Every structure is written in structure tokens, then in C-alpha cells.
Amino acid sequence: MSLDQLYQQIILEHAKARHGSGLAAAAAPMDASSGQSHQLNPTCGDEITVRVSVAGGKVSELRWDGDGCSISMASASVLTELAEGMSVEELRTVIDSFREVLRSRGKVPADPEVLGDAAAFEGVSRYAARVKCAMLSWVAAEDALGQAAGRLTAAP
Amino acid sequence: MVATPAHLRRSAAALGNEEVLRIRNDFPILQQHVNGFPLVYLDSGATSQNPLSVLEAEQEFYEQRNSAVHRGAHHLAVEATEAFENARETVADFVGAEWDELIWTSNATEGLNLLTYSFLNASLPGAGPEAARFALAPGDELVVTEMEHHANLIPWQELAARTGAVVKFIPINDAGALDLEAAAGIIGPRTRVLAFTHASNVLGTINPVAALVALARSAGALVVLDACQSAPHLPLDVKALDVDFAVFSGHKMLGPTGIGALYGRSELLNAMPPFLTGGSMITTVTMERAGFLPSPQRFEAGTQRISQAVALAAAVNYLSETGMDRIHAWEAELGQRLVRGLESIPGIRVLGPAAGQERIGLAAFDVAGVHAHDVGQFLDSRGIAVRVGHHCAQPLHRRLGLAATTRASTYLYNTTDDVDAFLNAAADVRAYFQA
């Protein structure tokens, strides 16, 4: 497998664009309808904080602050573009699908219908040391989503 | 001792590419291709490779002598004990220590934990008058440096947390050297221990041991030397350096994993309370109490890493036969080549001493706009193995304003072609990532 299959052009572009980067500029406040999660990859020091805001059962905003390799930054950027506007259930399904592909060691192909641009990370699943890089923001989003959904359910 | 065969007898001439190419033939793992390129192994700072003589020593032990040591009257037990203790003598001799001053550990990390837990035991009520010199009280100070590997930082933090002692550190300057003026102000009457690395695993700096030992002596503090990056790469004499304790890891010096050593001055080791207790380290045992053997067995409870000790002795024999002064000079040359080459690549910042300044044969660097993980992945695609991340030195990286860096580290089996292949690939990194 060549390096270009890992670093697909779309990944390199997202690593530069960093859609959704900048928690300070988030429109939605951190309140009962949002959740926030910080995740760390202790082996390389990559860090990310993801905030997910929910309104009317849909993800109204996803913003993040992070520092890490191109795979982790691109994956947060792609996640932002995918997640905003999705229902909470849809996003959970997409996160599950992404995880299944990435943990498959190349055995489960990515479905572009479900994963969109995130399908470009299929090649990462063959690089065991990089799977955590690609998953970092998605794990944070899943945690943040759970908090937001939990608060909304608990609210009177 | 077996006489050195003629073909291995060390040459007086400097180590150079021609001899290194012959040396490489002794390392089967270096003969392979990775991703279609000949393997260029530049990660010996993390773990080194094993020559055939080391692999054969371990196999020979298991085929001919394997048995428990220090017990049993049978032939194999005697052979195994002799091999084990001869290995101790060889490795002790390699670092300038007496045989009873060298304690086997799993690695340097365990050696440092052995020390800190022994000091903790000495600090507990009822430890006895002999242990008093190691006992810590609230307000006592343990001094480390800002460039320590986590292995020589966290055990001291934990010891401080349990005893009320305080950890202080000697800062580095922008050139990657310890600030000795600051050190003179930090090391004082309350300093009980000064623990520092001989050579930095990130910066490549070789620290001024004599100056630091002098400061510690004037304060009456014990000196602990982390020799992980020096024992494998330069002539080391713990007595000449006048340190109280030193640690190193076998796998960084051509030996197998699972074996390392702690050196300690004999009178200190025999006064220090043991860390691990159990079989093999005792004199008389009753249901109430036990007496402990003197060093080294005092600190070697349970069945030891026998084949690994034998293999480590084969490793230091290989190093000695090549000549540590020659290895040091060759790696210093490779280190300078690395720094000069990296400094000439736009967007690359080398950490630590500038070109022309003393450093061991490694260089860690930052590539503007490209994360270290991506740098490492790119180099791997050309068959080049380097280390990426914080190299177990997060506080040092924080001080340098970086989260992660890439490190190329050489050993006696690296040629100038290895360094050049690495430099050529490093020059292509930013273009690939459009940085």
C-alpha cells in the first residue's frame, strides 16, 4: 500500500482547511443543549476538544480545538462537515460505521453513501498506529453527543 | 576470560564506513527491505539491534546451561551460576564498577524505581539507623533537570508525594544546555538527591557531570546518573565520574529487552533497605523476620533474568571489541552530519546544540507545518525508521514550545549513506504535505 493511499488528496486538503476549528468562535453557547469532550492520544501528544450542540433533535453546531497530525486534524474537519445538520441518531450511526471501517484492518470497505468524505480514511485502517489519530475527534464527538442528548432527555 | 579472536581485535584506526559495512553483516535484521527500500534504521536511541553473537549467546545458554542460579548442586546449576555471575563481572567492568556493585534490573526505569522505593522504605518508621542516610522528610529536596526522560522524573515525583519531599529542577537554556548558574542556586543544604541524565535522549547534549557532582557533593546530596544514552555510546566509568548510582538499559546497547542494571557504591547498597523481597536475597528466615544478603543479591529477589544477563554480556563484549572510544567518535561524526544536513533544509528546526557543538549521534527536529507523526510516516515509506512523539520528555517539549518532534538516532552500525538517505527524504517532507 502506497503512502498516497493513506494521505489521499482530500485528507491533505482537510488537514489544511480544518473546518470547524475554533471553539472560541462557536455560535452556540455551552449550555444544556451541548456537550464537550477532551480526548488525548498519550503516545504522540495529539489533543482535541470537541463541542456538539443539539437543537430540535439535530446537530446544530460542531466546533473543535485541536493540535495533532494531518490524519487527526483532517478527520475532525471532515466530521464537522458531515455532522452539522444530521439528527443525533444519524450521527451515531455514522460514527459507528466509521469505527467499524477503521478497526477492520482493511477488511471492511468504507461506504461513501454513509461516510461521504470520511470514506477517504479507509486506508488508515491498514496503519494500526494511525487508527487512533483518525478516531480521536470522533470519539470526542460521540462523548459530547451523549452528554448533550443526556441533558436534553433529563431536562423537564 | 576467552581471548579476543584476531579478526575482532580492535583496530587503532578510526571507525569508518568500510568497517561499519562489515559490522552490519553481524546484524541480520538490518539486511531487510522496508516498503521497497533498504532498511535505514535510525531509532537506536529507542532500542538497538542485536548482533549474531548476542542472539547466539542466549540460544547457547538455553541449549547448554539453562538452570536456576545460586542453588542446586547439579552440573547445570553450577554452569548457569557461573555464566550469570561472569556476565555480571563483564558488564560491571564495562562501566568501571566492581561486580558486587552491579544489580540486574529489567531496564533503567526499574533501576530508578528500585532506588526510589528503597529510599521510601528508608523513610518509613522503624527503618533503622543504617537506612537513615536515605530517609526523606518533609521539605527535603530532590533535584532533577528539565531535560529528563519521564523515567528519571516520575519516580522522584512519586517519592516526593509519599514523603513530603519537594522536586526541584535545573532549567535548560535556549542552546539546550543545563543552566549551571541556576543549578548552583537550586542545589543547597536541603538537597538530598541530584538525579540527572548523562546525555539527553532528545537534545543530544552531554551534561557536565563533574560540575554537577561537585555541586551535589558540596550540598551532601546523593548523585544518581541516568546513563541510558551514554553507556551504549561512549566510554563510561562510574568511578571516574564519582556518581553514587547509575542506571542503564540493555536493549539500547545491543542487548535483549528485559535486562538492565543499577550501579551503586558498595557501602550505599549494603546500607539501603531492599525494594523487592523474597527468595534468593536472604540469610536466615523465621516465621517472624528475615536477614538480607549483601549486595548484589540483596536487591535480586526471585529468579533472575539469566539468559538476558548472559546475552547482555555478549553485547558489551561486542562493544568493547569494537572500542567505545571509536564508537563515540564515529557517532559524533554522524551526529554532526545529521545536524548540518537538517539545518540546511528550509523549515526544519533542530533541537539542542547547534552544528559544531558537542552532541551524541542523534538529532530531534521540528518540521514547520508538518506534524511529527506525518514526518515519521513519510520517512517510513522510504524504509527509514525514526522515532516520533515527545520521546518520554513532555516537560522538555513544553519548554521548547513543541508537542511532538521527530528524532533520528544512530549507532555503530549506521553509515554516512544511512544519514544521507534520511536527509534526502527529510528534504522532501514539506513538499509532500504541501507545507
Mutate to test the interface with A, among B35, B150, B375, B377 (most CBs of A within 10 A): B377
**CA–CA gap between residue B339 and residue B329 (Å, rounded):** 15
User: Given CB atoms, is A9 within the 8 Å cutoff of chain B?
Assistant: no
Domain B63-320 has CATH 3.40.1170.10: no
User: Given CB atoms, is A45 within the 8 Å cutoff of chain B?
Assistant: yes
CA distance B355 to chain A (A): 27
Q: Per the omega criterion (within 30 degrees of 0), is the bond before B296 cis?
A: yes
| Predicted pLDDT of residue B72 | 78
| Predicted pLDDT of residue B73 | 87
Contact between chains at A70 and B397 (C-beta distance less than 8 A)? no
Contact between chains at B377 and A127 (C-beta distance less than 8 A)? yes
User: Given CB atoms, is B280 within the 8 Å cutoff of chain A?
Assistant: no
Partner-chain residue, chosen from B381, B403, B434, that has the shortest CB–CB distance to A3: B381
pLDDT: which is higher, B329 or B434: B329
The mean pLDDT value for B160-170 works out to 98
List of chain A residues whose C-beta atoms are within 8 Å of the C-beta of residue B403: 45-47, 67
User: Given CB atoms, is B373 within the 8 Å cutoff of chain A?
Assistant: yes
Percentage above 90 pLDDT, chain B? 94
Neighbouring CB atoms inside 10 A of A61's CB total 19
Provide the pLDDT confidence category of residue B242 given band limits of 50, 70 and 90.
Answer: very high
Partner-chain residue, chosen from A3, A47, A133, that has the shortest CB–CB distance to B373: A133
The mean pLDDT value for B20-37 works out to 98
List of chain B residues whose C-beta atoms are within 8 Å of the C-beta of residue A6: 377
Neighbouring CB atoms inside 10 A of B8's CB total 12
| Predicted pLDDT of residue A1 | 63
Name the DSSP letter for residue B403. Answer: S
| Predicted pLDDT of residue B278 | 95
3-state secondary structure B248-281: EEHHHCCCCCCCEEEEECHHHHCCCCCCCCCCCC
Break chain A into its structural domains and give their ranges: 3-154
pLDDT surpasses 50 at B292: yes
**CA–CA gap between residue B373 and residue A130 (Å, rounded):** 9
The mean pLDDT value for B259-281 works out to 96
Partner-chain residue, chosen from A6, A16, A70, that has the shortest CB–CB distance to B371: A70
Per-residue pLDDT of chain A (156 residues), as tens digits, is: 689 989 999 999 999 999 999 998 888 777 878 999 999 988 777 899 999 999 999 999 999 999 999 999 999 999 999 999 999 999 999 999 999 999 999 999 999 999 999 999 999 999 998 999 999 999 999 999 999 887 777 655
- Average pLDDT score, chain B: 96
Instruction: Give the dihedral of Cα atoms B41, B43, B44, B49; nearest 10 deg.
Output: -50
pLDDT surpasses 70 at B4: no
Domain(s) of CATH 3.90.1150.10: residues in chain B: 6-50+323-432
The mean pLDDT value for B95-103 works out to 98
Active site residue ranges of B: 392
CA distance B365 to chain A (A): 15
The mean pLDDT value for B196-210 works out to 98
Contact between chains at A71 and B374 (C-beta distance less than 8 A)? yes
| Predicted pLDDT of residue B42 | 98
CATH architecture of the domain A3-154 equals Alpha-Beta Complex (3.90)
Domain(s) of CATH 3.40.640.10: residues in chain B: 63-320
| Predicted pLDDT of residue B3 | 47
Residue with cell 546451561: B65
> How is domain B6-50+323-432 classified at the CATH fold level?
Aspartate Aminotransferase, domain 1 (3.90.1150)
Note whether ipTM > 0.95 here.
no
User: Given CB atoms, is B403 within the 8 Å cutoff of chain A?
Assistant: yes
How far CA B382 is from CA of B37, B39, B413, B423, in Å, comes to 6, 8, 19, 11
Give the pTM: 0.94
User: Which three three-digit cell numbers place residue B428?
Assistant: 522532501
| Predicted pLDDT of residue A46 | 87
Residue with cell 523515567: B151
**pLDDT tens for each residue of B116-150:** 999 999 999 999 999 999 999 999 999 999 999 99
**CA–CA gap between residue B422 and residue B425 (Å, rounded):** 5
Comparing CA positions, the residue from B321, B320, B317, B305 lying closest to residue B61 is B305
Neighbouring CB atoms inside 10 A of B235's CB total 18
List of chain B residues whose C-beta atoms are within 8 Å of the C-beta of residue A17: none
| Predicted pLDDT of residue B1 | 40
Phi and psi at residue B307, to the nearest 5°: -65, -35
